[in-house]
Amino acid sequence: MKTLRYILLIITVGLLSSCLSELDQYPKTETTSSDVYAEAKNYKMVLGKLYASFVTTGQEKEGNNDLSSNSGEDYMRCYFNLQEAGTDELASTWLEGDKVGDITYLTWDENDPWVSDMYYRIYYTIALCNEFIRNSSDSHIARFTDAEQQDIINYRAEARFLRALAYSHALDLFRNIPFVSENDPVGSFIPPRYTGSQVFEYVEKELIDLEKDLLDRSECEYGRAPKAAAYALLSRLYLNAEVYIGEARYTECINYCLKVIDAGYSLEDDYRKLFNADNHKRTNEIIFSFPVDAEHTVSWGSTTYIICGSVSNTSDYQNPQDYGVKDGWGMFRVRGELPALFNENDNRALFFTEGQSQYLDELDNQNYGYFVEKWTNLTDAGEVASNTVEGGVNTDFPVFRLADVYLMLAESVIRGGSGSTKAQALRYVNDLRHRAFGDEYETNGKLKESELTKNFILDERARELYWECSRRTDLIRHDKFTTSSYVWQWKGGVKDGVAVDSKRNVYPIPSTDLTANPNLKND
């Protein structure tokens, strides 16, 4: 059976108005929803569109975009910028050209192009999911065979999961947001404003309810969300509950981490292989990923942005072909504080350093800051996987993997959650350290129980998960994103770094939607 990576969508699901007051309209295309959903076989193709909405901009490589937006980029390029660009994990070279200066310096406002594009990308995906769910109700699918109905019930659960994932991103990034579901009227509808607590409760209930209809990992083809993906998202939701709702939910985080672990996942032996063009084979550790393919899911965002963007276009030392790309874009490196977190024997420290200084006298100068070698477009055999000039990369983006689950469990134990022990948490963290240090583990990598602290976990998450879109959220949870308790070069637009206003812990609702929806406001 073909995986979701290779399902080609043959219909255009449609365009979304720029105003959320019109968010939940039917697509304005010649092919109507009643035509699309007339046959059971079409449901899987539409489901493919829901997944693809995270990594593509529309129906074609260039043009025929789903949305008219400031930067015209896909969901994951927006998400990467908002989660990484303002942290110690990324230094942008192309501040003006890519318009990421305000994100980088933590000085954005409600008119920032990336904030706006992220917001509308999230709600576009939510709108697609709502339409799919509306058209896959029990009454809608009753005319199909029992087997077809069961398939569509599974698809519906996946659409609800993707919607919950998008809402969880909206909660994390924007907090108090408009809410719309499949039960709201189609057409002119002004969504109500949900508080962070209301969004949290909605996402939590959705994910718990999905357990009965999502497939087990053994039944789920690659690229689709299994039960464990819902468990992992619940774990992440509970880990950050104190930030979102002011209530500790670490015991629940531990419980769902254990559900993921009990599903039979295991660590990949080679850390590098989790981020190469054959990483779709790493289903032992990767719980759920966004498939990226240079032929079928082409965009200049997602992992193409990460891989091409992290290779220099001016260096006399770095060879783009060593990473499976034709040319480097030279768009970003890391700030010096990230490599400073690594022991020299840690094999996760995948940085290109020749000709580069560690710290940044200038932010947008490629000579300052190390380039990241973690992500590549190379196969396991070391061969170039695709033509990045014509189609981008073939490397998938791991949304959830077991290493993250181990670290979420450990942090929740340290923060007082029950259901696990510090000894068990230490064992899981040391499993990651053993992979990272190899033969040097016993002398340089093995952690003692007394060393397992909140600050250590924050640093270990950076070492294990850098450039996987978790750093901003992690820093906020540890009260270090906006405060003076941790500064990094160019935080707040100052070379040595400064604290910024705590309002920067959330992004603002774009001004365009404040105008369109009187229910919304920025606190």
pLDDT (0 to 100) of residue 58: 87
**What whole-number distance in Å separates Cα of residue 352 and Cα of residue 374?**
10
Tokens 């689709």: give the residue: 224
Mean pLDDT of 437-459: 98
Q: CB under 8 Å, gap of 24 or more: what pairs does 515-521 form?
A: 516/19, 516/20, 516/21, 517/19, 517/20, 517/21, 517/178, 517/190, 517/191, 517/193, 518/190, 519/178, 519/190, 519/191, 519/192, 519/193, 520/178, 520/193, 521/193
- Nearest CA to 121 out of 73, 80, 169, 75 is that of 75
Question: Please, what's the b/e burial string for 104-131 (b: 16 or more CB within 10 A of its CB; e: otherwise)?
Answer: bbbebebebbbbbbbbbbbbbbbbbbbb
Note the pLDDT tens digit of each residue in 179-211: 999 999 887 889 999 999 999 999 999 999 999
pLDDT at residue 2 tops 60: no
- Coil, helix or strand at residue 357: strand
8 Å CB contact between 463 and 348: yes
Flag whether the pTM goes above 0.85.
Answer: yes
CA dihedral defined by 267, 271, 272, 277, rounded to 10 degrees?
20
- Coil, helix or strand at residue 83: helix
More confident residue, 66 or 129: 129
Note the pLDDT tens digit of each residue in 22-37: 344 334 445 677 789 9
More confident residue, 34 or 439: 439
pLDDT (0 to 100) of residue 30: 55
Mean pLDDT of 462-468: 98
4-213: in CATH 3.30.200.20:
no
Note the pLDDT tens digit of each residue in 298-347: 888 999 999 999 999 999 999 999 999 999 999 999 999 999 999 999 99
8 Å CB contact between 445 and 460: no
DSSP state of 189: -
Task: Give the class (CATH, top level) of 403-505.
Answer: mainly alpha
pLDDT at residue 109 tops 80: yes
Is 51 exposed, middle or buried, given 0-12, 13-18 or 19+ CB atoms closer than 10 A? buried
Name the residue type at position 82. L
Name the residue type at position 273. K
pLDDT (0 to 100) of residue 10: 31
Domain boundaries, the chain: 4-213, 292-395, 403-505
Axis-axis angle for helices 227-239, 196-209 (nearest 10): 150
DSSP state of 452: -
Is 145 exposed, middle or buried, given 0-12, 13-18 or 19+ CB atoms closer than 10 A? exposed
More confident residue, 32 or 410: 410
Tokens 């908002």: give the residue: 82
Note the pLDDT tens digit of each residue in 226-276: 999 999 999 999 999 999 999 999 999 999 999 999 999 999 999 999 999
403-505 has the same fold as 4-213: yes
